[in-house]
């Protein structure tokens, strides 16, 4: 049985709860994150190597030392969801892509709605940069952490 552990870390956007298991990050959620699992029951150990590495990676990102959150992560999801999430990690910091562009990137140009649904289920906010995906007209849409956070993250990455 896999034991999930958690740690709350401070960020400029409010507390972020990190969830780890089996030596890898499994989730990163803001307090008001949509589709946030029940986290209060998870163990919060004083020491956990995966959480230590993840906390350091997020700190580097938020301080501007890293363009991305370089963290070993295992996001539980379907094969399709993981394919979409991997495509998100290829979007350079500070740049954006539309949902249709992500769908085309994974070879499924007619799957825009399915791509949007997969992005909405991303359990690794910021580490898997779903904030870099925008609407067809370039508008900021659909971020589980809230549009104001999405706006802040893009501005942060653009310097």
What pLDDT is recorded for position 46?
73
| d(C-alpha 115, C-alpha 106), whole Å | 9
List residues with catalytic annotation: 130
- pLDDT at residue 92, rounded to an integer: 97
Q: Are residues 100 and 42 in the same domain?
A: no
| pLDDT of amino acid 41 | 64
Find the DSSP H helices in 19-146.
49-63, 79-89, 99-105, 112-120
Question: Do 11 and 50 belong together in one domain?
Answer: yes
Domain that includes residue 152, residue range: 79-158
Please check whether residues 94 and 143 belong to one and the same domain. yes
Q: Are 13 and 149 within 8 A, CB to CB?
A: yes
Pairwise CA distance, residues 52 & 54, whole Å: 6
142 and 94, same domain (yes or no): yes
Number of domains comprising the chain = 2
Residue 115, domain member (yes or no): yes
Distances from the Cα of 61 to the Cαs of 55, 67, 91, 93, in angstroms? 10, 6, 15, 11
Q: What does the pLDDT read at residue 44?
A: 77
Q: Which distant-in-sequence residues (6+ apart) come within 8 Å of 45 by Cβ?
A: 5, 51
Structural domain ending residue among the three candidates 17, 32, 63: 63
Q: Is residue 73 part of a domain?
A: no
**Could you say which residues of the chain have pLDDT below 70?**
1, 36-38, 40-41
pLDDT in tens, 4-43: 889 999 999 999 999 998 888 999 999 887 776 667 667 7
Residues for the chain: how many in total? 159
pLDDT attached to residue 2: 75
70 assigned to some structural domain: no
CATH for 83:
1.10.10.10
Radius of gyration (Cα) for the chain, nearest Å?
Answer: 15
pLDDT of the residue at 131:
97
Tell me what pLDDT residue 144 has: 87
Do 90 and 123 lie in one domain? The reply is yes
């Amino acid at each position: 049985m896999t034991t999930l552990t958690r740690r709350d870390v401070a960020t400029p956007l409010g507390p972020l709860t990190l969830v780890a298991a089996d030596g890898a990050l499994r989730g990163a959620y803001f307090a008001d994150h949509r589709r946030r699992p029940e986290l209060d029951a998870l163990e919060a150990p004083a020491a956990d190597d995966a959480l230590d590495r993840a906390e350091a990676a997020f700190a580097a990102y938020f301080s501007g030392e890293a363009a991305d959150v370089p963290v070993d992560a295992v996001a539980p999801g379907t094969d399709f969801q993981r394919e979409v999430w991997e495509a998100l990690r290829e979007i350079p910091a500070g740049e954006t892509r539309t949902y249709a562009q992500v769908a085309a990137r994974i070879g499924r140009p007619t799957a825009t709605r399915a791509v949007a649904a997969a992005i909405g289920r991303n359990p690794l906010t910021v580490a898997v940069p779903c904030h870099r995906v925008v609407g067809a007209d370039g508008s900021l849409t659909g971020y589980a952490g809230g549009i104001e956070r999405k706006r802040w993250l893009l501005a942060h990455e653009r310097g």
